[in-house]
Amino acid sequence: MSRLFIFGLGYTAKVIASHLESLGWEVVSTGSDGTLSFDDEGSVRLALADADHVLSSVPPGKESRGEPLDPVLDRYGEALKGKALSYLSSTGVYGDAGGAWVDESSPTGTGRRTARSEADAAWLALGARVYRLPGIYGPGRSMLERVQAGKAHRIDLPGQVFSRVHVEDIAAGVIAGLQAPAGAYNLADNLPCPQNHVVEEACRLLGVTPPPLQTLDEAGLSPMARGFYAENRRVANGKARRVLQWQPRYPDYAAGLRALRATMSPTMESSAPDTATGVQR
């Protein structure tokens, strides 16, 4: 039986774990929904010793709070030597490309996520497979739910594009990479596009009016959400398709949203507000 140790059993890691368990793997994990406490060093080190593969989805620490660059490497780095390693990173390491394409050979560390870039580099230096992920969506966490909650915005920023990926496609890519060469891999769908297109498609599927176009200031976004619009890039997935023999099951946002809508209950669908008026249907 193959054994996987996961640091940080979050939204994406849960899907990965579920698929591997269905294939007969034993999965041990930390996190609020995990099987071990991150701080239980004795138990964690014993489990790591038995693990064939280690996956970390733990984000880097916050420099302003004096937290470690990478909590996993800071505490358990020595115990990871000789293990097959995977790390869930972010395409934010590429920074702003002015809407141009970026791939795994593009410069990193120039954007707003310097801590993430440094953690990404540290895992690469250990010989990990580093998966750089754009905006993640899937069941319970998609533009459909944002539209239903009245939290979707259409921002008037011509030329702004983003990449995204369905959580099931991340799981497929990570599993395909378990025996792949170490290095960085972008897992993104095939169609970078403006966020407004995604909002409009979600509204169409739910039968509601799209929200009006707004400036960033008019939308009243949080600093974190505004930061989402501070960078503009298209993420290429050619290396993952070539090396991992990976193909996204949901090659664009429309395919992903259609599949998610098909799983929604009638009650969920009928609760969607008319975004033009905010009135529940």
Number of domains the chain is built from: 1
Q: Which domain holds residue 204?
A: 83-280
Query: Scanning the structure block, which residue is given the tokens 């996993």?
Result: 72
Query: Scanning the structure block, which residue is given the tokens 């990449």?
Result: 163
- Is position 128 within any domain? yes
- Is position 16 within any domain? no
- Is position 64 within any domain? no
Residue 166 pLDDT more than 90? yes
What pLDDT does residue 65 have? 66
pTM score of the predicted model: 0.93
- Is position 158 within any domain? yes
Confidence of residue 275 (pLDDT cuts 50, 70, 90): very low
- Is position 34 within any domain? no
What pLDDT does residue 66 have? 65
Taking residue 125's Cβ as centre, other Cβ atoms within 10 Å add up to 9
Per residue in 214-265, pLDDT tens? 999 999 888 888 888 989 999 999 999 999 999 999 999 999 999 999 998 7
Residue type, 86: S
- Is position 237 within any domain? yes
What pLDDT does residue 112 have? 76
- Nearest alpha-carbon partner for 147 in 200, 83, 81, 93: 200
- Is position 36 within any domain? no
Lowest mean pLDDT: which of 1-5, 68-72, 202-206, 262-266? 262-266
What pLDDT does residue 278 have? 42
Per residue in 78-136, pLDDT tens? 999 999 999 999 999 999 999 999 999 999 988 777 899 999 999 999 999 999 999 99
CATH number of the domain encompassing residue 117? 3.40.50.720
Q: Please list, in sequence order, all residues whose beta carbon lies within 8 angstroms of the beta carbon of residue 63, skipping any fewer than 6 positions away.
A: 115
- Is position 6 within any domain? no
Per residue in 167-221, pLDDT tens? 999 999 999 999 999 999 999 999 999 999 999 999 999 999 999 999 999 998 8
